[in-house]
Structure 1
Amino acid sequence: MSPTHPLRVVVLISGSGSNLQALIDGQKRGELPIEIVAVISNRAAVRGLLRAEHAGIPALVLDHTRYESREDFDKALQAQIDEFRPELVVLAGFMRILTSDFASHYEGRMLNIHPSLLPKYQGLHTHQRALEAGETEHGVTVHFVTPELDGGPPVIQARVPVLENDDAETLAARVQQQEHVIYPLAVEWFARGRLRMKSGKALLDNEPLGPQGYLTGTAQP
């Protein structure tokens, strides 16, 4: 199935926006049939906002510290997103725990990328936790967002080896290389109508994906 128009995408960020850049590059090269219609950050003066501006994409800041509660912020964020009429919301390093109402509003049309092989190491500090556990493999997961933190159905995982001399920084860098490969791929699948969420499961070409999603091979060091 080919899209009849570019998929309207809003990207949420909190920092440097390297995954945002991978999506921008894919859009520019014509590999991704998407139009990033807005980038929204909950933090001002982050590099991801500059990446958006350089690409001619509306870049907005919605500072979460100006809201009295998580619920108030999410309501304002939802209103801001919906002004752009997105067909897909992409969380690209958006460092906020979302309320159930917000996650449910976009259920089936919101993706996140998490730097671990889910369901392992939900939450923060995933690379250090993998090292401390003596893992021989680590990686990254793209998944649909549901009200459960990092608990939505996985779409695709990429694995990397954990090397003997790794620290959290070197391991993170190796994982990030794979992030820039699999996130655009998942977005492309969605944009082309191949990827959907139904009854709490991720479907690719109408076939349910396994508990880890689509598995890629282990990247070489």
Structure 2
Amino acid sequence: MKAHIANVLQSIHVQTRHRQNEVHVRTLQSENLELTRILGQKDREIDGLRHRLANLEARLQELLGTDTLTGLPNRHVFKEHLIHSLKRALRVGYSLSLMLIDVDHLGEINEQHGSAAGDRVLVEIAQILKSSVREIDMPARWGGEEMVAVLHETDAEGAAVVAERVRRRVLGLALKDEKTGRLIKVTATLSVASYPTHSNEAHGLLEYAFEALRAAKNNGCNTVVIAAR
């Protein structure tokens, strides 16, 4: 009899401990789900703050007028300069050209050698562009893999000569992957549009230059093209 009672008590004790463990497990699972939910919410909040910070930094750089990577004037400053330069060209009566530079296969360079290598390429090409134009001209970073320049008192043919000089200097870059030592192949495609040949408005010159650039990229890179009239 005593043995039976002991067995019953032992069984009750085991069942009680089992139920307590189940309750404890459910409590821990509930707490884990709640913590996961809170962490997910915090991650979204952090992502939102990072996005806002990036936008604020971009806006600040726009107001300052300088591209942080290359040190060149940014798109906002360039567009204002192009508009005012065209007005002066119309008033005085001299030619003006827009030169557009696109770094070929920059995405592949980033994938194969890392984004830091891609940034080095952009910095080097910015220096080439800056040193290839005169002080009266205006080189700038348009965005992404594209740079631009206003060439004052220069017709389309003269701008094409400058563009070819830039293309050859880019082709001659001897940048190496800092990790592997492999040579990074760098080329650029350039297009030219000019006033009064193509347009007397800023957006018109940009459209001609970008259209010519797209056609050149589709037909093969590492070249210089003058926009069709």
TM-score, normalised on structure 1?
Answer: 0.26
TM-score, normalised on structure 2?
Answer: 0.26
Bigger Rg, which one: 2
Which structure: greater helix fraction?
2
